[in-house]
Structure 1
Amino acid sequence: MLIFTIVLFILSFLIAASMFLVKAGQVSNHLPARNHLDNKTIHADRIWPYFKTKFGSIVNKIWHFILEAKDLKPATTKTLQTQVEKVKNAFRIRIRSSEADPQWLPEAAELATKQEPNQTAEELYLRAIQKNPQDQQAYEALGRLYLQNKNFKDAVEIFEHLIKLSPSRDTYHSNLGLAYFSLKEFQKAARSYEQALSINNKIPTRWVNLSFCFSALEDYPKAVKALTSAVGLDKYNLNYLTLLVDAYLKVPNHLRAEEVLEQILSIDPTNKTAREKLMKLKI
C-alpha cells in the first residue's frame, strides 16, 4: 500500500510539472524576446517523454524490488492483475471483495484452500480436510475453533484424531485435556494432561490444570504435588501459591499451608487475604 502511494505521488508530481511547462511554453510565445530564447528553452513536448521514460524505469525497479524481496521472478505477461496476484500470494494478503466477506480467524488465511464468499471458518477447515484428509494444519485450526466456540465434544474428536497422527505433539494432549475437563470428564482430562507433561513438563500452567483435574476428583494429595511442580517453575507466582495453600487446607495439612502463606507474605507483605488466612490458622 505504501509503495502504491509513493508511485501515485510521483505520478501526480510529474503531471503537474508537465502542465506547468506547457503553460509556460504558451505564455512565452507572446514575449518580445521569444526569438532570442529559442535555443535555450526546453519545451514541454520534449520534457514529457523524458519524465515518462524515467517514471517507467522507477516503477519497474520498485516492482522488481518487491519480487526479489520474496524470491520471485517478474511475470512473463506483465499485466497488473497477474503482478498483484503474485504479491498477494507472496505476502499472504487477503483483500475482502465486499463487506459481506467474513472476517475469518487468522489460521484460515494460512490454508491452501481458497476462500469463498459467505463461508464460515468451520466450513473452510472442513472443506480443506475433505480435499486432503491428511491436512493436519486444517485439523489443528478446526480443533482450536471448536475449543474457542465451546464445542468440546467435537474438539475431543479432532484432537484424538490428531494424536493418532502425531502422538508426540504435547499440545494435542493438552488441548484434549482441556476439552475433557470442560465436559467434566476429569479422569480422562487428568490422563491427557499427564501425557502432555510427560512430553514437555516445563509449562507451569499445565501442572495447574492437572491440579484442577485432581481437585475435581477430590484427590488433593495429587493436586498438591501438581501445584508444587507449577510453583517450582514459577516461584513468585502468587496465584499458584494461593492455589497451593487451598490444596493443603483440603488435604488437610495446615502446617504446610501456614508455610506457604508466610512465603506469600514475604513476597507481598500487603496481601490482606493471605494474612487473614494465616491468622485464622494460628488461632
Structure 2
Amino acid sequence: MQIKLEHVTANYKIGPLLKPRVLDDVSLTLNPGRITAVVGSTGAGKSSLLKVCNGLLIPSEGHVTIGSKEINSKTSKQSLKTIRKHIGMVFQFPESQLFAETVGEDIAFGPLNFGTDQRRAEQLARKALQQVGLDESILSKSPFSLSGGQKRRVAIAGVLASEPEVILLDEPTAGLDPAGRKELLTLLKRWHDEEGKTILFVTHDMESTARFAEDVIVMENGSVVYHDAVRPLFENTRQLKEWQLDLPEARRFQLGFEAQSGIHLPHVCLTEKELMDALIEVGCV
C-alpha cells in the first residue's frame, strides 16, 4: 500500500488555539514495505506528518493518497475509518492509552471495532502478543499490573492485531533505556521482515535511525528537506549540523579516526560491525 502526499498543507487547531502550517506544501511518496524514520528538531512537523497519513489531521490544502483512497478536506468520517483499518497508529507513550480490564480485551478491541467477530479477534490478539514477544499467559491479566515495558508492547500489539498494512509510530522508544530501545525496535523490524509491511516512525534518536531505518525523512519548519536512503544522510556532516541532527556513535568514531590517522575508510559506517569490517579492510585491525 503506497502513501503519497501531494502539496499537503495542514493547520493544527485545539479549541481557540491555532497553529498554522504545521505542514507546509509537503509532497512525498513513501516506499511500500520499507522502514522510514522521520527526524528533525522539536516542532519541525514530524508528528503532524504521521497524523495526516491516517486522517487524524486533515489537510487544508492538497491531499493524501493511501492505496486507492484519498484524504482531503472533504473526506467523510466513514472513509477515514476504512483508511484507519489499514493504517495503524501508535502514539507516544502508548501505555497510557490502555483501558480494558484484561490484556486480551485491550488487544482485541481494535479488530472488534473494525467488525471482526469475537473468535477471530481473540486469535488476532494471541498472534499480536507473540509478535511483540509476550507470552499468552498474560492475556487474562490486568494491563495495569504489567511492567512499563510490557505495557508498551501490549499497546503496540493492540495496533498489530488489526493487521494494518502500514504502522505509524510516534517516538516508540521514548523513555526507554538503550537496551529497551534496541529490543523494541528489533521486535518491530522482525514484524516488518515477516509481514512485509511498511513502518514509519518518528524519532529523535539518530542511533535508532542508523540501525533500523532504510529510508529517512528530515523535516524543518513543516517542510520536508530530505527524503532518501539512510546512509547518504550521514555523509554530509555539515548539513546534519545545520539541521541539528546528531551522528550515530560508529560514524562519529569513523570521522575521528580518519581525521587523526589520515586513512579514509571505504564507506560510511553506521554500526560497530560495519566499522570493524571497514577497519579490517584497510588493514588497521
Normalised TM-score (structure 2): 0.25
Larger Rg: 1
Structure with higher strand content: 2
Larger RCO (CA within 8 A; separation ≥ 6):
2
